[in-house]
Amino acid sequence: MLRALGLDAVSEQVYQELLAEPTLDAILLAERLGLSQDQVGASLDTLADLALLRMSREAPQQRRPVSQERARALLLRRQEEELRARLAALEANRIAVATAAERAARERQRIPTGTEQLDGLDEIQSRLESLLQSATTEICSIVPTLMPPEALEAARPLDEDLLRRGITQRTLCHEGVRTNPRALAYGRSMAAVGAQLRTAPALPHRLLVVDRATALVPLDPASPTASAVLVTIPGIVAGLAELFDRIWADAVPLDQAPAPDCATGITAAERELLKILSTGLTDEVAAKRLGVSVRTVKRRMEELMRRLEAGSRFEAGFKACQHGWL
């Protein structure tokens, strides 16, 4: 019983033996219990510290065990005091965290220009975690390129935490995720727990909008992981959110296959390919923008040329315009 109240097993043995025969000294206790004198001595000190031993009124130089009722009451009171102390410490930590969050929020509000430059992946990741933790309603993001496997796994706990907290999560992904098994599996697993994902054949630069009040964009789109800019200027954030909404309206949900245009019979990805190649860009650039391989670009272009009955890409571009495909 006393062990349930925090008393260790050896000390309880010593206590119970003393209850049965209060005049036993440390040597006799060790012999009866099969313990070393050091163990008995340590247990006697523990019992004394817990006030389970008191000075004898008949033999003032000796100590006697308190009653079992008194022992239980003392140990229970001690546990209650420890619990109150832990609860007080927990409440103090909670207040400290809340205060720090409020201070950080005030600091961000005091940024005079409404922008903040973040340099390096670690600083970007740290601020990203803070932004997502402070989100209350909605996260809108554009992911224009395929994320490497390690980046997907790093994003998983953040995404799952948002969904557990009831935050609406809308993500625009490159259409290339549909042909990438790992990216597709990740997208489907997130959709299964409440995330909303849509794809488009071409997307602008990477973007994150939190609660339609804060936006995070790359400082240099050509090197999106080097530096980023945090924007809180209402007009800019509203414009970026509107850009997201316009693309979202035309994008295709991940669980649906992109359908050809009823009037032309071509898909959005095919139209985007024609646009890219009609400007004179190479297959390599087109593949990067579309999130597919160069071989896929060549195969798709050959199919478009066959359907247009064109002998060259130049002729294909001309006929695509005639057919209203561009």
- Can you say whether the dihedral through the CA atoms of 162, 165, 171, 173 is positive or negative? positive
Q: Which of residues 176 and 211 earns the better pLDDT score?
A: 211
Say if CB 12 and CB 3 are below 8 A apart.
yes
Q: Is the pLDDT of residue 112 over 60?
A: no
**C-alpha separations of 274 from 80, 146, 325 in Å:** 74, 22, 8
Taken in order 54, 55, 58, 64, the sign of the CA dihedral is positive
Q: Are 50 and 43 in contact (CB under 8 A)?
A: no
Q: Does residue 168 contact residue 137 with C-beta atoms inside 8 Å? A: yes
Q: Average of pLDDT values for 308-320? A: 74
Mean pLDDT of the chain: 82
Q: Is the pLDDT of residue 106 over 70?
A: no
| pLDDT at residue 285 in the model | 75
The per-residue pLDDT for range 284-312, each reduced to its tens digit, is 877 777 767 788 778 877 887 788 777 77
Start-end of H helices in 168-233: 181-192
Instruction: Output the pLDDT for position 110.
Output: 52
Query: CA-to-CA distance for 78 and 109, rounded, in angstroms?
Result: 47
pLDDT at 209: 95
Q: What confidence tier does 108 reach under pLDDT thresholds 50, 70, 90? A: low
What is the pairing mode between strands 252-253 and 207-210?
A: unpaired
pLDDT of residue 246: 92
pLDDT tens for each residue of 47-79: 888 888 888 777 777 788 888 888 888 888 888
Q: In order of start, what are the domains of the chain with their CATH numbers?
A: 3-71 (1.10.10.10), 116-253 (3.30.870.10), 268-322 (1.10.10.10)
Q: What was the pLDDT predicted at 262?
A: 59
Is pLDDT above 60 for 111? no
pLDDT one-digit tens code per residue, 239-288: 999 999 999 998 889 888 765 555 566 777 777 777 776 777 777 877 77
Check pLDDT > 60 for residue 325.
yes
Distance CA 280, CA 277 (A): 5
pLDDT tens, 154-165?
788 888 888 899
Q: Output the pLDDT for position 2.
A: 76
Going by C-beta distance under 8 Å and a sequence separation of 6 or more, which residues neighbour residue 88?
Answer: none
Digit-coded pLDDT (tens) for 191-246: 888 899 998 877 888 899 999 999 999 988 777 778 899 999 999 999 999 999 99
Higher pLDDT, 39 or 296: 39
Model confidence at 169, pLDDT cuts 50, 70, 90, reads: very high
Q: For the residues 28-45, what does the mean pLDDT come to?
A: 85
